[in-house]
């Protein structure tokens, strides 16, 4: 029974992904413009850091290679999140506020998966390509740490997904989240693209246990450069806790939605 349920889950997920990709690719001009803008943004951001590290060589023990590794992990994690589950950050709050979540509730599918997978960003794979280039360029990746690297990328993907679910689910509890929710994600992205070595002391703890940007910045670099069981377990533990909490937050809010919102039609 469990195997059948799991097979149905993945079949439904793959169908969602395929539908979104076909829809996006049908809008060739929009896809091309979005891809070009994404690449340009990555180049501009990283060029700025190259200039800075050329001037100062190191920032609290980090050099340009450490930054390349961190940036590659962030890019790869975000690209997987945006490619598979862009709907959770782009549409969840709007569906809740406009009463359009009823359409998903009536379907015999996992509600959170259905909403999260309702939109995809195939152009985000450009970030994954850039991340792979940086992995080779940084010179810090060897075959021995490859499993740790994959674990770090997967943890980062789940953290992005968790933050997206938290932001979208806020609409169950307050008004006008759709207008400023994306700004929260942008702030999180900003925190996740700064050199991890600038976060020290209490701020480092804050970014591990309150706003989990540390799972994308200093933690993965520390784990790959100096692998320890305590570091791996800390990263896995934080990721599991935040992802579980975000799912609980969504379904707790869903009970409020069922008792207080009217039906809408999703076009």
- pLDDT of residue 57 exceeding 80, the answer is no
Give mean pLDDT, residues 209-214: 88
Tell me phi and psi for residue 59, to 5 degrees.
-130, 105
Contact 112, 247 (CB under 8 A): yes
Q: Quick one: angle between helices 218-225 and 64-85, nearest 10?
A: 120
The domain spans of the chain are: 2-260
Spatial distance between the Cα atoms of 116 and 13, rounded to a whole number of angstroms: 10
Distance CA 149, CA 144 (A): 10
Q: What is the pLDDT of residues 246-260, one digit of tens each?
A: 999 999 888 877 544
Residue 210 contacts by C-beta under 8 Å, 6 or more apart in sequence?
Answer: none
Residue bearing tokens 């180049």: 43
The per-residue pLDDT for 16 is 59
Query: Tens digit of pLDDT for each residue in 161-203?
Result: 999 999 989 988 888 787 777 788 888 888 888 888 888 888 8
Q: H or E element: which one contains 179?
A: helix 177-192
């Amino acid at each position: 029974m469990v195997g059948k349920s799991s097979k149905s889950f993945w079949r439904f997920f793959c169908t969602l992904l395929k539908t979104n990709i076909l829809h996006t690719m049908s809008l060739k001009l929009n896809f091309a413009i979005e891809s070009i803008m994404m690449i340009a943004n990555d180049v501009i951001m990283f060029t700025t850091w190259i200039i800075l590290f050329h001037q100062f060589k190191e920032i609290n023990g980090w050099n340009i290679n450490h930054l390349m590794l961190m940036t590659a992990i962030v890019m790869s994690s975000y690209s997987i999140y945006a490619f598979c589950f862009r709907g959770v950050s782009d549409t969840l709050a709007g569906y809740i506020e406009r009463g359009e979540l009823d359409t998903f509730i009536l379907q015999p599918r996992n509600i959170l998966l259905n909403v999260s997978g309702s939109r995809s960003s195939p152009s985000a794979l450009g970030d994954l390509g850039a991340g792979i280039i940086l992995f080779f360029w940084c010179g810090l990746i060897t075959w021995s740490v490859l499993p740790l690297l994959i674990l770090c990328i997967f943890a980062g993907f789940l953290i992005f997904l968790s933050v997206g679910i938290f932001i979208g689910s806020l609409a169950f509890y307050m008004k006008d989240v759709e207008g400023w929710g994306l700004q929260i994600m942008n702030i999180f992205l900003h925190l996740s693209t700064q050199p991890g070595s600038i976060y020290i002391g209490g701020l480092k703890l804050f970014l591990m246990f309150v706003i989990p940007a540390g799972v994308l910045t200093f933690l993965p670099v520390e784990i790959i450069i100096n692998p320890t069981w305590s570091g791996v377990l800390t990263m896995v533990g934080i990721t599991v806790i935040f992802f579980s909490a975000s799912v609980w937050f969504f379904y707790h809010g869903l009970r409020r939605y069922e008792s207080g919102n009217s039906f809408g039609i999703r076009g």
